[in-house]
Chains A and B, each alone.
Chain A
């Protein structure tokens, strides 16, 4: 967190508490800065997204996050989980936090990794198509996020980028295959009796391995990708709160409430919460915050979804354009 003088802090706080509220960049309390998003930025990843908050086209600046997923085949017997698993990690570029020592940077990365991983790898969100061969092989979904620069509101950026990358993820189609001994070996009845002995090593389930479908696209999207959560951070200067704090505003805010919601046809579901910062929070504020947070998260969710669909259209057009030129 950047350092601010007491006068700057109280200027920001007094502005939020004023009637009507005034923020240092003229936004309304619940306005986001402009968010730019692009999916499919990493050609070697199964799904990827790049997201910036508050970056001006020419001036730069703003928060920037890169997210990418990579699928890896894992043996269930060698430490894997039947049905696959999701592992998230967050890395912070030292350039994003030039004032932090390497130790402090690692702590920060660890905090971010914990929040993102605990929320996204929760069983309630688990995609059902990560298994390959039951009891033997499954996909390990690695979601890696990199914070390239931080100008405030990095958690919302992380969750939005994670959702975009997971939305973009394609799981390769697989087909199970089994090994059969050549017919010549099974010619005599006596041999078959031998096969039944305890020394036999070929007594395996009929499905032994898998092969990749050779198909025109890269695979199928993750099951239940609608459910990946979005988060909103409520920056609390009691009794007011505001969204999408800039770095200066973050430094002047004692307490932040992070709420991650997923939206299903059946309704909204709170997938994770965190209280960041020092200060006290009473139950009433939390309750009110969750109610209001759901409303703002739904706005984020709707806007993000329509952007993701636009991105799919744009990439399909680009691909067909490429194809036509050949």
Chain B
């Protein structure tokens, strides 16, 4: 089955249709008083917006000075700390902070370390000394471990880790020294803009439809089959040997459907710029199950609009 659609009419085309009035529109002045930069008022900027005088304020990230004015260089929200003006960009790479939970993909195996793509400006580093090796937390790292690093992680592998520290060049160092962290399997990855992932109490979310979610703060989201509470890390059913396994468990058909549905919901929410939380995901999932007949877990544009509209009406 194949369907063709048209592109949405471009603003330029609409412009053509109404005629040429652009001289009047451009006259809008953007003026900013001291009060507008107070921390409570959220202010959006476009690149090139004048923010304030450079005499009274200092320019920070996302701004530059032009003719004694601080000018935004990115689209985002204005933030002020004392006399420092910064603009936090909406579309940006992930800015790591120590303690963040991230999902990453191994790009390179190097002596005693792995390089990890975590949607940041530089590849993150995972040292051999900051992973748990099979056979106990207290095990010493041997020379033979260095030689068989690809048995633990190889190129392309996905893992969940925590930001441990930063190197002097700003690259982040990760660690997986918890049984909750490690290699990922039984599911699929969804990538969204990092700004849409809020800091939550827990980034390991279980939805009642038998789907586990790991919301990486870097915008990488792992959607996978639910692991029973008795089989989770630290419980008696936990299989310590399977930590570095590449083998998926058997996944039944309803679970596969649920994983695909959750992944599609996340894509839709990201396209409409809705920040992700567990409650929003749950509401969206319930809504989509109610509408089952209409779309079978697929989201065409009109159904996506309806989903987002129903979320806005509930909140």
Contacts and interface: CB of A to CB of B under 8 A. Distances in A.
B156 interface: yes
Contact of A5 (B5, B156, B301): B156
Contact of A24 (B5, B156, B158, B263): B263
Contact of A299 (B1, B186, B189, B300): B1
Nearest to A99: B107
A303 interface: yes
Interface in B247-261: 247-248, 251, 253, 256-257, 259-261
Interface residues of B, number: 44
A38 B1 contact: no
A300 B246 CA distance: 38
Contacts of A18: 253, 256
A307 to B, nearest CB: 4
A123 interface: no
A22 B264 contact: no
B59 interface: no
A101 to B, nearest CB: 14
A30 to B, nearest CB: 7
B301 A22 contact: no
Nearest to A305: B4
A72 interface: no
Contacts of A299: 1-2
A14 B251 contact: yes
B87 interface: no
Contacts of A3: 105, 107, 155-156
Nearest to A314: B6
Nearest to B271: A59
B261 A26 contact: yes
A5 B267 contact: no
B300 A5 contact: no
Interface stretch (A50-58, A73-81, A215-223): A50-58
Contact of A307 (B4, B157, B248, B267): B4
Given A4-B156, A5-B246, A307-B4, A15 B256 contact: yes
B301 A57 contact: yes
A15 to B, nearest CB: 6
Contact of A11 (B186, B257, B264, B270): B186
| Interface-central residue, A60, A300, A307, by most chain B CB under 10 Å | A307
A95 to B, nearest CB: 15
A150 to B, nearest CB: 15
Contacts, number: 120
A11 B188 contact: yes
B285 to A, nearest CB: 13
B4 A26 contact: no
Contacts of A11: 185-188, 248, 251
A313 B155 CA distance: 51
A106 interface: no
A121 interface: no
B250 to A, nearest CB: 9
Interface string B250-288: 010100110111011001101110000000000000000
24 contacts: A3-B105, A5-B156, A7-B157, A7-B246, A8-B188, A10-B247, A10-B248, A11-B188, A11-B251, A18-B256, A22-B257, A24-B263, A31-B1, A34-B300, A34-B301, A35-B2, A36-B4, A50-B7, A56-B267, A56-B268, A56-B301, A58-B271, A248-B188, A306-B4
Given A24-B260, A37-B5, A57-B301, 14 more contacts: A6-B156, A6-B246, A7-B158, A8-B189, A11-B188, A18-B256, A24-B259, A26-B261, A36-B5, A36-B7, A38-B6, A52-B7, A59-B272, A303-B4
